[in-house]
Chains A and B, each alone.
Chain A
Amino acid sequence: MTLTAKPAAARPAPDAEAPPAASARPNRRRTPKTWIRGGGLWNLAFLTPMLIVFGVFSWSPIVQSVVMSFQRTNLVSTPEWVGIDNFVNVLSDPNLGVAIANTLYFAVLALILGFPLPLILAVMMSEVRRGKGLYSALAYLPVVIPPVVAVLLWKVFYNASPDGVFNTILGWFGIPPQPWLQSAATAMPSLVIEATWAAAGGSIIIYLAALISVPPELYDAAEVDGAGIWRKLWHVTLPQLRGVLFIMLILQVIATSQVFLEPFLFTGGGPNNATLTILLLIYRYAFQNSLGGDYGEATALSLMLAIFLGLLSWLYFKLTERWSTN
């Protein structure tokens, strides 16, 4: 099949304009002239912006990150090959274990707190007949607030004095004031509560869309078989949402493994490294190092994290593939 775009208004093809790319295909009667007539120049013109931007800011950095993880780079002297030294250094850093444990802790807490909540709210919202638009808008409002503003505002809410916003609310119910961000034990849960609040709205909207497309015949059929409300939820709604739930689960795990904003702005990794996450460690290697940026170690660690996340998405594809064939 020939090129689809053969503009009727093709110019008389001045030979002088033959681009260098055309000479790369010498044989098969495809001369520069036919290439231009076939719209080759136009194709290239439309693709050039994308090629430049992706080439410089996406494809080449991806390749570079692999190269750099085997180099010692500090921007001053020329990069030198150090083999797997960067990986060895990163893996023997005592902070890495702390960071992995903290990130896992964050991910598990976020899963327990943040995964069922939007689903339950969405199921409730889809059953009420009035005010659905209002409820969706209210639920989505926290997502609209810029994340930095949200974190800084919650930092005020988490004021540990008895007159802090949250401690005042706890006081109404007779609960003693909490240290929130100040103590190693409560810092991470505080981060998770804010992150859940900030993200729940987006998940609710997605679940609402999925709930609407559950075929009503399935509910009708379940009723004929004598199923009550809870059985319908359990045997019709949840299985129908299986795919969306699984996507959301994987997306949440991928997002929480890269959590940065909350620990960085709330606690800076403290108190006593209780909220030091993997991404924060990468940031410290590269940009908060008093000895100059340790770019090699930073890329080595991010590469390892990326491979782990890549395995996760591979698993996700395998599983969805199997489910769809069943």
Chain B
Amino acid sequence: MTSAPVQPLLERPDGAEADAADDAGRPGPTAWLRRRRVAKGASDEFGDRGVLSAFDRRRGSVRGSLSLVHTFLFIGLVVAGLGPLLWLAKAAVTPTQDTLSQPFALWPNGIDWANLETAWNDIHIDQYFLNTIWVAAGSWFFQLLIATTAGYALSVLRPKYAPILNALVLATLFIPAVVLLVPLYLTVLHPPLIDVSLLNTYWAVWLPAAANAFNILLVKRFFDSLPREVFEAAKTDGAGPFRVFWSIVLPMSKPVLGVVSVFAVISAWKDFLWPLLVLPDPAVQPLSVRLPAVQSQTELDVFLAALAISTLIPVLLFLMFQRLFLRSAGLGGAVKG
């Protein structure tokens, strides 16, 4: 139970989202976390009906235009969505001259598999690849750690001062990232208490990423929806707060942990400006920072091979966890902002 005066302030973002959700006539943004079926509908199941009625669909003119729409969608989406990737895959194993003079010809002078090897070994894509994985893994771990422990304390343990902390966390949602750029950079140069610069260490990427209010909001709301009786029963059986957290709350929270994980890994993989600032040493830089830097000294075919290798993992991850990605994407728009 939270104290009354703080509550309206706290509920502001929630309220706004709920409004938006009501406007669209759909359940609140986290509803799918509780009921999977609704969420699945968002990506790959049909609603009862759309704009077109069964009667419309039987009309000849509508059927004609529908198949036209089908063709347009198929060609348009294949060209825009798959086209650049296919071209990149082709160009990665094509000699520079062919790519420059006949960009759409299929290997007029043979396939150059050596590009991939050169990119991997001589451009040290292997090293930067490892760096990227390291950046993503650490960000993932710390984001999950902070989001779950804070979410548990604010939602389940709920000390008296929880509403104040909650408000302080939510307030950071309204601060655009650009404000933090310079002061955060100076914090990394001279962190408080310890007399060591975090520059060129991964801590400088992991810890600021972990200060993510959106994650805490997401996890806390999910924890709020878990049945309290289970916790009470566990306490009666002698489980302490940590035991409840580790053996009951976390195993019940797999859906939300999956979403936070997707967000964490993707944003770490994508991030460019921040790692560029705090990791000036090429030996520790991830791919996103390194690729623009090596472009000028690399031959085009090898560079395109490097781009292709860097795209491979995210695309494979997407194909493997398609449903989770698309669900998270739908949610991101509903809550972020």
Given A208-B42, A323-B23, A286-B182 contact (CB < 8 Å): yes
The 0/1 profile, CB within 8 Å of A marked 1, for residues 21-64 of chain B is: 11111110000000000000111101111111101100000100
Complex alpha-carbon distance, A51 and B26, angstroms? 35
CB–CB B20/A295 < 8 A:
no
A175 within 8 A of B: no
CB–CB A3/B315 < 8 A:
no
Mark out the residues of chain A between 282 and 326 whose CB falls within 8 Å of any chain B CB in the assembled complex. 282-283, 286-287, 295, 298-299, 302-303, 305-306, 309-310, 313, 316-317, 320-321, 323-324
Complex alpha-carbon distance, A167 and B176, angstroms? 38
Question: Across the two chains, which residue of chain A brings its CB closest to B62?
Answer: A229
Question: Across the two chains, which residue of chain B brings its CB closest to A303?
Answer: B179
Complex alpha-carbon distance, A242 and B26, angstroms? 12
CB–CB B240/A53 < 8 A:
no
> Hey, which chain B residues are within 8 Å of A5, CB to CB?
156-159, 241
CB–CB B325/A168 < 8 A:
no
CB–CB B187/A7 < 8 A:
no
Complex alpha-carbon distance, A164 and B272, angstroms? 27
Looking at the complex, which of A92-100, A108-116, A182-190, A253-261 is the stretch in contact with chain B?
A253-261
Complex alpha-carbon distance, A295 and B185, angstroms? 10
Mark out the residues of chain B between 168 and 194 whose CB falls within 8 Å of any chain A CB in the assembled complex. 168-169, 172, 174-187, 189, 191-192
CB–CB B73/A125 < 8 A:
yes
Provide the main secondary structure of the chain B interface.
helix
User: Which of B42, B146, B210, B311 is A212 in contact with, Cβ under 8 Å?
Assistant: B42
CB–CB A56/B287 < 8 A:
no
> Hey, which chain A residues are within 8 Å of B78, CB to CB?
138
The 0/1 profile, CB within 8 Å of A marked 1, for residues 265-285 of chain B is: 000011011000100000000
Complex alpha-carbon distance, A233 and B238, angstroms? 58
CB–CB A140/B73 < 8 A:
no
CB–CB B84/A68 < 8 A:
no
User: Which of A3, A128, A302 is B179 in contact with, Cβ under 8 Å?
Assistant: A302
CB–CB A4/B177 < 8 A:
no
CB–CB A58/B172 < 8 A:
yes
User: Which of B19, B51, B53 is A324 in contact with, Cβ under 8 Å?
Assistant: B19
Question: Across the two chains, which residue of chain A brings its CB closest to B337?
Answer: A251
CB–CB A219/B184 < 8 A:
no
User: Which of A61, A145, A164 is B180 in contact with, Cβ under 8 Å?
Assistant: A61
CB–CB A131/B74 < 8 A:
yes
Mark out the residues of chain A between 20 and 69 whose CB falls within 8 Å of any chain B CB in the assembled complex. 39-40, 42-43, 46-47, 49-51, 53-54, 56-62, 64-65, 68
CB–CB B43/A243 < 8 A:
no
> Hey, which chain A residues are within 8 Å of B152, CB to CB?
46
> Hey, which chain A residues are within 8 Å of B157, CB to CB?
3-5, 39, 42-43, 46
> Hey, which chain A residues are within 8 Å of B101, CB to CB?
163
> Hey, which chain A residues are within 8 Å of B303, CB to CB?
152
A205 within 8 A of B: yes
CB–CB B176/A164 < 8 A:
no
> Hey, which chain A residues are within 8 Å of B25, CB to CB?
213-215, 240
Complex alpha-carbon distance, A305 and B84, angstroms? 35
The 0/1 profile, CB within 8 Å of B marked 1, for residues 195-234 of chain A is: 0010001110110111111111001100100000100110
A17 within 8 A of B: no
CB–CB A152/B307 < 8 A:
yes
> Hey, which chain A residues are within 8 Å of B137, CB to CB?
none
CB–CB B337/A247 < 8 A:
yes
Complex alpha-carbon distance, A306 and B80, angstroms? 34
A265 within 8 A of B: yes
CB–CB B330/A206 < 8 A:
yes
B5 within 8 A of A: no
What's the nearest-Cβ distance from chain B to residue A21, in Å?
10
Question: Across the two chains, which residue of chain A brings its CB closest to B180?
Answer: A61
> Hey, which chain A residues are within 8 Å of B81, CB to CB?
137-142, 201
> Hey, which chain B residues are within 8 Å of A260, CB to CB?
273
A16 within 8 A of B: no
Question: Across the two chains, which residue of chain B brings its CB closest to A168?
Answer: B103
Given A233-B51, A306-B176, A50-B272 contact (CB < 8 Å): no
What's the nearest-Cβ distance from chain A to residue B104, in Å?
6
> Hey, which chain B residues are within 8 Å of A242, CB to CB?
23-24
> Hey, which chain A residues are within 8 Å of B238, CB to CB?
8-9
On chain B, the number of residues with a Cβ less than 8 Å from chain A's Cβ atoms is: 130
CB–CB A243/B24 < 8 A:
yes
What's the nearest-Cβ distance from chain B to residue A277, in Å?
11
Question: Across the two chains, which residue of chain A brings its CB closest to B173?
Answer: A313
CB–CB B48/A216 < 8 A:
yes
CB–CB A136/B44 < 8 A:
yes
CB–CB A237/B178 < 8 A:
no
> Hey, which chain B residues are within 8 Å of A124, CB to CB?
69, 72-73
Complex alpha-carbon distance, A299 and B72, angstroms? 48
Question: Across the two chains, which residue of chain B brings its CB closest to A167?
Answer: B103
B110 within 8 A of A: no
Complex alpha-carbon distance, A168 and B177, angstroms? 39
A246 within 8 A of B: yes
CB–CB A205/B104 < 8 A:
no
Query: Most A CB atoms within 10 A — which of B76, B157, B242?
Result: B157
User: Which of B150, B295, B325, B336 is A251 in contact with, Cβ under 8 Å?
Assistant: B336
- Can you sample 13 A-B contacts with CB below 8 Å? A53-B207, A54-B211, A68-B186, A127-B69, A131-B73, A145-B85, A205-B326, A206-B330, A214-B24, A219-B51, A286-B182, A316-B16, A321-B16
9 extra interface residue pairs, beta carbon distance < 8 Å, beyond A57-B184, A57-B187, A251-B333: A9-B239, A54-B172, A61-B187, A62-B183, A121-B77, A209-B43, A212-B26, A216-B47, A324-B23
Question: Residues of B with Cβ closer than 8 Å to A?
Answer: 1, 12, 15-16, 19-27, 41-44, 46-53, 55-56, 62, 66, 69-70, 72-74, 76-78, 80-82, 84-85, 87-88, 91, 100-104, 142, 145-146, 149-150, 152-154, 156-160, 165, 168-169, 172, 174-187, 189, 191-192, 207-208, 210-211, 213, 216, 235-236, 238-242, 245, 269-270, 272-273, 277, 287-289, 291-292, 295, 300, 303-304, 307, 310-311, 314-315, 317-319, 322, 325-326, 329-330, 332-334, 336-337
